[in-house]
């Protein structure tokens, strides 16, 4: 690439030059200012447009590019707390577009996705749960807020990352109330280069035949048993944790020592379940998995 710019550098330089232009700039003007050939610049302009960073408009025979409204440069790590406050403010006032713009600004500003999940998304989920339990919001608002948070997680998940074929993780929610936590956990793992299989809410799979179902699934996706496979069970009830931990433990001998089980407990007390690691902290879930990976691959 001309001048050796990274994708992040192109993105920031693009924000800078478009922020200084009221009417927008043509692709030719942008490529000339950045010193990048037109064909390459056109490709990146389309990528940034798909991500919602910039937009295109017609001015006669010329296509002009301009910055999306609300785009701003954030500075991390200083702005994580600022983003946390703004996210919850926009969420609870019904400003959905501002929520999504804020998340996109985090992406464009080079925020660590896993850290955004831990310091912004997880606290927001917990805040919504607390407001609902204290009757500050009703079922309708709770559903709305959950939907907005879910969409924000999906936006974070759009950031491309290379996956390591040796680092595999299955993430399942043992109940519907843990589904958002499972989505957030999946996004964080994906941002760290893990191959992720997110199964969603598996509460309807609680029956005597699930062991066989899980074994078939693992055989299909981890047939060659390359690297490690971690199964992360996220649950708000001890019953759910107990069922899925027993299911995973029953099939582990068939897949060898490189299959591992972690429980992310939201039950409010330490559950009496058999697992290699049990925690009530999101970040510890990720750290433990990374430590297992480090031990396996040096």
Q: Using one digit for the tens of pLDDT, what is the confidence trace for 242-281?
A: 999 999 999 999 999 999 999 999 887 778 899 999 999 9
Q: How many residues does the chain have?
A: 298
Q: What is the 3-state secondary structure (H, E, C) of 155-211?
A: HHHCCCCCCEEEEEEEEEECCHHHHHHHHHHHHHHHHCCEEEEEEEECHHHCCCCHH
DSSP state of 57: E
In which order are the strands placed within the sheet that holds 25-26? Answer: 25-26, 62-67, 54-59
Three-state DSSP class for residue 267: coil
Which of the listed CATH numbers 3.40.50.280, 3.40.50.2020, 3.40.640.10, 1.10.760.10 matches domain 164-297?
3.40.50.280
| DSSP secondary structure string for all residues of 215-228 | HHHHHHHTTT--SE
In this structure, is the dihedral angle defined by the CA atoms of residues 129, 94, 100 and 75, taken in order, positive or negative? negative
Asked whether the predicted pLDDT for residue 298 surpasses 80, the reply is no
> What does the pLDDT read at residue 1?
41
What angle (nearest 5°) sits at the alpha carbon of residue 269, between those of residues 273 and 137? 125
pLDDT tier at 9, thresholds 50, 70, 90:
confident
Query: Average per-residue pLDDT in the chain?
Result: 91
Which of the listed CATH numbers 3.40.640.10, 1.10.1240.10, 1.20.1300.10, 1.20.120.530 matches domain 80-157?
1.10.1240.10
DSSP state of 63: E
Asked whether the predicted pLDDT for residue 68 surpasses 70, the reply is no
pLDDT tier at 47, thresholds 50, 70, 90:
confident
Tell me: domain 2-67, CATH 1.10.1740.110, correct?
Answer: no
pLDDT tier at 120, thresholds 50, 70, 90:
very high
> What does the pLDDT read at residue 71?
67
> What does the pLDDT read at residue 166?
95
**Alpha helix (H) ranges present in the chain?**
7-19, 27-34, 38-50, 80-92, 96-108, 113-116, 122-133, 139-157, 179-191, 210-221, 238-251, 282-297
Q: What is the pLDDT of residues 80-114, one digit of tens each?
A: 999 999 999 999 999 998 999 899 888 878 899 99
Asked whether the predicted pLDDT for residue 60 surpasses 80, the reply is no
Q: What letters, b where the CB count within 10 A reaches 16 and e where it falls short, cover 262-288?
A: bbbbbbeeebebebebbbeebeebbeb
Whether 43 contacts 59, CB under 8 Å: no
> What does the pLDDT read at residue 129?
96
Task: Report the pLDDT averaged over residues 123-148.
Answer: 97
- Tokens 């296509």, located at residue: 63
Q: How far apart are CA 27 and CA 44, in angstroms?
A: 10
> What does the pLDDT read at residue 3?
56
Whether 257 contacts 229, CB under 8 Å: no
Q: How far apart are CA 257 and CA 179, in angstroms?
A: 28
- 45 against 286, higher pLDDT: 286
Q: How far apart are CA 5 and CA 31, in angstroms?
A: 13
Q: What is the pLDDT of residues 151-177, one digit of tens each?
A: 999 999 987 788 999 999 999 999 999
Q: How far apart are CA 278 and CA 260, in angstroms?
A: 12
**Residues 6+ positions from 1 with CB-CB distance below 8 Å:** 36, 40
Domain ranges, ordered by start, for the chain = 2-67, 80-157, 164-297
Three-state DSSP class for residue 51: coil
Asked whether the predicted pLDDT for residue 4 surpasses 80, the reply is no
């Amino acid at each position: 690439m001309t001048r050796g710019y990274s994708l992040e550098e192109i993105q920031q330089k693009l924000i800078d030059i478009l922020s200084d232009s009221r009417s927008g700039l043509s692709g030719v003007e942008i490529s000339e200012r950045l010193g990048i050939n037109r064909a390459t610049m056109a490709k990146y302009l389309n990528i940034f447009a798909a991500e919602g960073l910039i937009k295109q408009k017609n001015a006669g025979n010329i296509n002009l590019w301009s910055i999306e409204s609300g785009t701003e440069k954030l500075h991390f790590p200083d702005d994580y707390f600022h983003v946390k406050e703004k996210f919850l403010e926009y969420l609870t006032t019904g400003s959905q577009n501002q929520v999504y713009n804020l998340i996109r600004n985090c992406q464009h500003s080079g925020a660590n996705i896993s850290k955004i999940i831990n310091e912004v998304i997880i606290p927001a989920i917990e805040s919504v749960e607390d407001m609902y339990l204290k009757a500050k919001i009703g079922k309708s608002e709770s559903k709305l807020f959950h939907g907005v948070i879910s969409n924000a997680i999906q936006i974070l998940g759009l950031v491309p990352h290379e996956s390591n074929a040796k680092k595999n993780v299955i993430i399942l929610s043992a109940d519907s109330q843990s589904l958002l936590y499972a989505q957030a956990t999946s996004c964080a793992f994906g941002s760290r280069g893990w191959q992720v299989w997110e199964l969603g809410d598996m509460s309807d799979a609680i029956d005597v035949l699930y062991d066989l179902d899980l074994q078939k699934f693992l055989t299909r996706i981890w047939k060659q048993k390359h690297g490690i496979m971690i199964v992360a069970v996220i649950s708000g009830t001890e019953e759910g944790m107990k069922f899925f931990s027993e299911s995973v433990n029953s099939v582990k001998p068939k897949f060898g020592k490189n299959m591992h089980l972690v429980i992310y407990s939201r039950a409010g007390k330490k559950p009496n379940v058999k697992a290699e690691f049990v925690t009530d902290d999101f970040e510890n879930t990720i750290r433990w998995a990374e430590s297992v990976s480090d031990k396996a691959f040096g």
